[in-house]
Amino acid sequence: MREFHYDQIYRALLTPEIVALVAQIHEYKGEQNLFIEANSDVLTQLVDLAKIQSTEASNKIEGIYTSDERLKKIVLAKTMPRNRNEEEIAGYRDVLATIHESHDYIPPRPSMILQLHRDLYKFSGKSMAGIYKNSDNVIEEEDALGNKTIRFLPVPAWETSEAIERICKALEEAGKDPTFDPLLLIPVFILDFLCIHPFQDGNGRMSRLLTLLLLYRAGYIVGKYISVEKLIETAKETYYETLQQSSAGWHEAANDYLPFVRYLLGVIVAAYRDFASRVQYLTTSGFSKPERVREIIKATLGAITRTEIMQKCPDVSQITVQRALNELLKSNDILKIGGGRYTSYTWNREKV
Min mean pLDDT across 117-121, 166-170, 248-252, 328-332 is at 328-332
Give the pLDDT confidence score for residue 188 in this predicted structure.
98
Mean pLDDT, range 261-279, rounded to an integer = 92
- Average pLDDT of the segment spanning 60-82: 92
Q: Which residue has the higher pLDDT, 111 or 49?
A: 111
The pLDDT of residue 256 is above 80: yes
Distances (CA, A) of 187 to 119, 193, 261: 23, 10, 5
**β partners of residue 344:** 337
- Say if residue 314's pLDDT is above 90: no
Q: What is the pLDDT of residue 40?
A: 64
pLDDT higher than 70, residue 39: no
User: How do beta strands 148-152 and 139-142 pair?
Assistant: antiparallel
Residues 6+ apart with CB under 8 A from 284: 292, 295
**Res 44 pLDDT > 90:** no
CB 221 within 8 A of CB 37: no
- pLDDT over 90 (residue 242): yes
Question: pLDDT band at residue 286, thresholds of 50, 70 and 90?
Answer: low
User: Rounded distance, CA 12 to CA 33, Å?
Assistant: 30
pLDDT value at 285 more than 60: no
The structural domains of the chain, ordered by start, are 6-281 (1.10.3290.10), 286-347 (1.10.10.10)
**Residue 26: which of 305, 268, 316, 297 has the closest Cα?**
268
User: What pTM was estimated for this model as a whole?
Assistant: 0.85
What are the angstrom distances between the C-alpha of 347 and each of 22, 284, 290? Answer: 34, 20, 15
pLDDT beyond 60 at 337: yes
Residue with more model confidence, 299 or 6: 6
Q: Does pLDDT of 352 surpass 70?
A: no
CA distance 109 to 169: 8
pLDDT averaged over every residue in the chain: 91
Is residue 141's pLDDT more than 80?
no
pLDDT in tens, 208-233: 999 999 999 999 999 999 999 999 99
